[in-house]
Amino acid sequence: MSTTPLEFPEGFLWGAATAAYQIEGAAHEDGRQDSIWDAFARKPGAVADAHNGEVACDHYHRSAQDVALMGELNLSAYRFSTSWARCMPDGGTPNPDGIRFYSRLVDELLAAGITPWLTLYHWDLPQALEDEGGWANRETAERFADYAAVMHEALGGRVRIWTTLNEPWCSAFLGYAEGVHAPGRTEPAAALAAAHHLLLGHGLATQRLRARDPEAKLGITLNLNVFDPVDPADEGDRDAARRLDGQFNRIFLDPLFRGEYPADLLADVSHLGLADVIRAGDLEVIAEPIDLLGVNYYHGEAVTKSPPTATAQPSPFVAADGAHSVPRGLPVTGMGWEVQPDGLRRLLNRVQQEYTGPAGIPIYITENGAAYEDVPDADGFVDDQDRLTFFDAHLRALHAAVADGVDVRGYLAWSLMDNFEWAYGYHQRFGLVRVDYESQQRIPKASGRWYAGVAAQNALPPAP
């Protein structure tokens, strides 16, 4: 048994992350209008128990309290998203009252010594733009670049780290192919068009921000996964892993870092029109150099091949051809996701070797966390040892990746507090801090107290 703490590199950034629609509430205050998530959450059966983000964690009215809470947790960075529907409700016209909220938030963070890390898009497209075709419409990418410029005009002098998109895979494929996320469409061709236009929007916004502020740190956040063939010797299982890796990981990584889509992916989806939406010069825009890559990691998957008829319902994997994941006996979270910390180490080594390393781009873990069934005691405290163990195991895997030579410079836990968990409503809790949705009281959990100690020491305690 080791008695030595695992120290992280000097200057390693410790923080937590949230998203606007999941915590802010105030859905129709100060000029904010519907996002696609407001509209989607009102559809019968779209969200568990018909919940929505009308109130959420009431962060819009409690931001000062929440920033103080971040200080108690020893966070040095806070990754938040700005709501496009709050700042430009019709998708194109600035709303000073909405923008002012984020200006106050940034000032509160800076006063507390916490680095503001701004994400421009965490899934809350103005419904007005969805009514014009959403991300399947090329013009949305142009509008996104305009939005980026408006936000930089307001906040650029104080915000130095900018993420364009959070998890474009979810926006494109859960929203436009499987229909379980907003806007709830089940159109595979539109999903591929959305994926391309999201990437194009990222490139256009990066160009616009770079021109305005050459010293800003610009990046994108991708949710990445590890797909292992159930039987590496089986040709079908290997093809399953290739197909899912292509449509989940490489569909974004290759254009961003190599200026091209994977040839095998283009062949897999040749019948769905992706090639038709790619115009001359698009890939050069998408490959605009970035300063950092955000990686969100939650779990890996073991995958196999089955007859195409096995998937009767819409699937986000439009290139799957019967590929699907199967359980392999690992522990699972409350959402049924496998707990696979070793996958994080393997993923980071691969990403650096194949993508970020040759470009000299550092990696940040911008989301990692787990939902479990939290049971508060009489005082509202949650002794969430399962989540604490999850964080500990993944941070040890991250430390091992750093020891392998991977240039990882920070870790932002998901999430700062319990919140509206998209289609799951409020039943799945990811927070370091418990939120009592009736009283809006915030109480740090055992995992939050533990994480505060890790952040303060820049080190993991010795392994038990």
153 phi and psi angles, rounded to 5 deg: -60, -40
Half-sphere exposure of 420 (CA within 13 A, CB side): 25
**C-beta of residue 19 within 8 angstroms of C-beta of residue 420:** no
Interatomic CA distance for residues 12 and 56, integer angstroms: 31
- The two three-digit tokens of residue 54, written as one number: 């009308």
DSSP character string of 245-296? HIIIIIHHHHHHHHSS--HHHHHHTGGGTHHHHPPTTHHHHHT---SEEEEE
**C-beta of residue 452 within 8 angstroms of C-beta of residue 73:** yes
Half-sphere exposure of 234 (CA within 13 A, CB side): 14
Q: Residue 105 carries which DSSP code? A: H
Closest CA to 98 of 30, 43, 153, 154: 30
Half-sphere exposure of 111 (CA within 13 A, CB side): 10
Positions marked active-site: 167, 367
Coil, strand or helix: which one is 422? helix
Closest CA to 66 of 390, 448, 384: 448
**C-beta of residue 434 within 8 angstroms of C-beta of residue 380:** yes
Interatomic CA distance for residues 252 and 34, integer angstroms: 28
